[in-house]
């Protein structure tokens, strides 16, 4: 299968491309040498719009490699700059779904903490706000469903590295498959049970918000009624006037 054929496109116009990233695929090329989502997306744009040469795509946000879900790129330098600004200034709304082995002790809440990333070990720690390099992180969460394990909705107010993974561990409910933050065993496909379900971003050139949703992958770990209903609706992209 070609890189272009493998791309799951959710929305495209002159300035924006939104796709569904599968778990295990890096967004940009890394030391592994594996194909990246950026390369797949460039190949798709080149084939779809008959563009010769190297296609421009701006990376404006990221998902961890073992996480799946909605990712947007800027198709023009103006689009990329304005999308990047929206992410930096918290002008976006991100909704994630995560699966944990046991539900938290409460049904909803908000987690405020300060995080510091050990870049050598690629691990994030909860630290004192006075520690050098500490960055504030805010996460809202609620329990969606229980079926032996639990499905959580996670809405980050900030965009820190590994923020949701640490938040779940802080709740005493690490994400399934997330060995780095307390899971007891890996998932079969080496993903972690975290999916970027919905993303709302301001369109870079029009006075509308783009609301893009895509359901989690069809795997046993995601066997919940909530997820089944989302799959029935399928992937959706809507333009909403502000």
List pLDDT tens digits, range 54-81. Answer: 899 999 999 999 999 999 999 999 999 9
pLDDT band for position 52 (cuts 50, 70, 90): confident
What would be the CATH architecture of the domain defined by 8-241? Answer: 2-Layer Sandwich (3.30)
Q: Active-site positions?
A: 64
Q: What is the pTM of this model?
A: 0.95
pLDDT value of residue 96: 98
As a whole number, mean pLDDT of residues 16-20 equals 98
Checking if the pLDDT of 4 tops 90, the result is no
**Comparing 6 with 159, which gets the higher pLDDT?**
159
Residue-wise pLDDT tens digits, 165-176: 999 999 999 999
pLDDT of residue 242: 83
pLDDT for the residue numbered 5? 47
Domain ranges (residues) in the chain: 8-241
At 179-230, the pLDDT tens digits run: 999 999 999 999 999 999 999 999 999 999 999 999 999 999 999 999 999 9
pLDDT tens-digit series, residues 151-165: 999 999 999 999 999
Q: Residue 219 is encoded by which pair of tokens? A: 């795997």
Span 133-140, average pLDDT: 97
């Amino acid at each position: 299968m070609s890189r272009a054929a493998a791309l799951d496109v959710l929305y495209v116009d002159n300035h924006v491309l939104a796709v569904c990233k599968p778990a295990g695929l890096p967004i940009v090329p890394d030391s592994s040498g594996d194909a990246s989502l950026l390369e797949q997306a460039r190949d798709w744009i080149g084939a779809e719009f008959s563009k010769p040469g190297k296609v421009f795509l701006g990376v404006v946000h990221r998902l961890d490699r073992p996480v799946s879900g909605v990712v947007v790129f800027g198709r023009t330098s103006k689009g990329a700059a304005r999308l990047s600004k929206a992410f930096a200034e918290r002008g976006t709304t991100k909704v994630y779904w995560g699966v944990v082995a046991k539900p938290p002790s409460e049904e909803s809440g908000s987690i405020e903490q300060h995080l510091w990333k050990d870049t050598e070990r690629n691990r994030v720690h909860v630290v004192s706000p006075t520690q050098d390099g500490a960055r504030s992180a805010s996460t809202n969460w609620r329990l969606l469903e229980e079926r032996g394990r639990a499905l959580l909705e996670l809405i980050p107010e900030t965009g820190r590295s590994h923020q949701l993974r640490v938040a779940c561990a802080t709740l005493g409910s690490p994400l399934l498959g997330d060995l780095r933050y307390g899971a007891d065993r890996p998932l079969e496909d080496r993903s972690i049970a975290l999916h970027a379900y919905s993303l709302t971003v301001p369109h870079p050139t029009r006075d509308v918000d783009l609301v893009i949703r895509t359901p989690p992958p069809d795997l046993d770990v995601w066997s919940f009624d909530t997820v089944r209903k989302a799959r029935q609706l399928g992937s959706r992209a809507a333009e909403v006037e502000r």
